[in-house]
Amino acid sequence: MLTCKEVLESLSDYLDADMKEDIVNEMKRHIGSCSDCRAEFDTLTMTIKLYKHEHIQGAQVMPVGCHDRLVKVLELEKMKSKGPQPPKMV
């Protein structure tokens, strides 16, 4: 029989389905009958869901000019290492 402490320590592995089946079943039983651990499980699950959802919704776009500035930095590096007049990189 798992204690609350053991359940709480293993919650992330349980959420990630990263544990043996017999432990999963014990975790399931404990969470089903212990309201404190169930609340821990529910809130941790919701936290991860919120971040995953936000990630899908809010793709990060590179600012205008960011690509060109990166290419310039790399061209300069190339000039430093190989001498002047490098061929265009991109």
- Which residues form the interface with other proteins (CB under 8 A)? 5, 8-9, 11-13, 16, 18, 35-36, 38-40, 42-55, 57-63, 66-67, 69-71, 73-74, 77-78, 86-87, 89-90
Q: Give the residue with the Cβ less far from other proteins, 29 or 67.
A: 67
> Could you tell me if 2 and 14 are in contact, meaning their C-beta atoms sit under 8 angstroms apart?
no
d(CA 3, CA 29): 12
Of the candidates 41, 40, 7, the residue with the CA atom closest to the CA atom of residue 26? 7
When the beta carbons of 29 and 52 are compared against other proteins, the nearer one is 52
Cβ 22 to other proteins shortest distance, Å: 19
Give 32 or 46: the residue with its C-beta nearer to other proteins. Answer: 46
Q: Hunting for tokens 């399931």 — which residue is that?
A: 28
Q: Fill in the DSSP letter of residue 89.
A: -
